[in-house]
Amino acid sequence: MERPAWAPRSIDITVPSVSRIYDFYLGGSHNFEVDREAARRAMEFLPGLPKIMQANRAFMRRAVRFAAQQGIDQFLDIGSGIPTFGNVHEVAREARPDARVVYVDHDPVAVAHSQAVLEGAEFADVVAADLLKPREILDSPQVERLIDLNRPVALLLVAILHFVEDADDPCAAVAELTAALAPGSLLVLTHASYEGIPTSAERAGGAVDVYKDIRNPLIMRSRDEIARFFEGYEMVEPGLVPMPRWRPETAPEEEDPYAFSGIAGVGRTA
């Protein structure tokens, strides 16, 4: 298989990655046949997966605009993925031209492509790091340069925590990040869940099995389990809801039922 110029030498292009599968669902071009094959297998069980991802991105953009309207001008986006249409720095800077953004991902393709997109930008950067090592993120030169932790930050954990198993204690990582944030900071989060999926849990489980097969388990959590990530936060209205129901900006259109799979919420530190 030919290795395109954007694929770092360090990656095995015969092994699927969740960031490239996600890129495929969103119609991007930074994915390989192994990624498309895994995505298509998952879509046999959940044909609406691209709709879920679009609802996730649409929520993320609304939440970034909300944060900017609340006066927040610094964004820490962990599990930021491969840049696509409407990235956090674009949405944030439309609302606040002075906004600064640090992206974080552990996937080399996501990091390399973010570096390419951000080349020469003084207001945004990317860190190659793992959510499970919050200190590496918080102490990175990129965060030190761009983010003042004495002022409110919007921490984005969008469609990442469902890739962290309970054994790796995702709540502890979120709590460590939260402890570093100034009062008035926001946590913007989405998470996969069986709640709201317009098909049986058994059928949706077929898609979950595809992620298990590629050794990137997808952990479906209940609303109550997802609420635990918000320890120390006050929920912003309307609380934890299906993604299209979080502060829609236009009159509700006929949404694809799949868009209501997955849960979104924003919390504020006191």
Ligand X SMILES: C[S@@+](CC[C@H](N)C(=O)[O-])C[C@H]1O[C@@H](n2cnc3c(N)ncnc32)[C@H](O)[C@@H]1O
Given the rule CB under 6 A, which residues bind ligand X?
18-19, 22, 56-57, 60, 79-81, 105-107, 110, 130-132, 158-160, 163-164
Minimum Å distance from CB 10 to ligand X?
14
Q: Among residues 29 and 150, whose Cβ is nearest to ligand X?
A: 29
Q: Which residue(s) pair with 75 in the sheet?
A: 101, 154
Q: Which one, 19 or 269, has the nearer CB to ligand X?
A: 19
Residue 128 in contact with residue 106, Cβ under 8 Å?
yes
Find the angle CA(92)-CA(97)-CA(103) to the nearest 5 degrees: 40
Kindly state the smallest distance separating residue 158's Cβ from ligand X, in Å. Answer: 4
For ligand X, the closer CB: 163 or 230? 163
Q: Are 140 and 129 in contact (CB under 8 A)?
A: yes
Which H/E stretch holds residue 100? strand 100-105
Q: How far is the CB of 19 from ligand X (least distance, A)?
A: 3
Nearer to ligand X, 18 or 68 (CB): 18
According to DSSP, the β-strands at 154-158 and 186-191 are: parallel
Nearest residue to ligand X, scored by beta-carbon proximity: 81
Whole-angstrom CA distances from 250 to 145, 241, 244, 247 are 37, 17, 11, 9
Minimum CB distance to ligand X, residue 62 (Å): 13
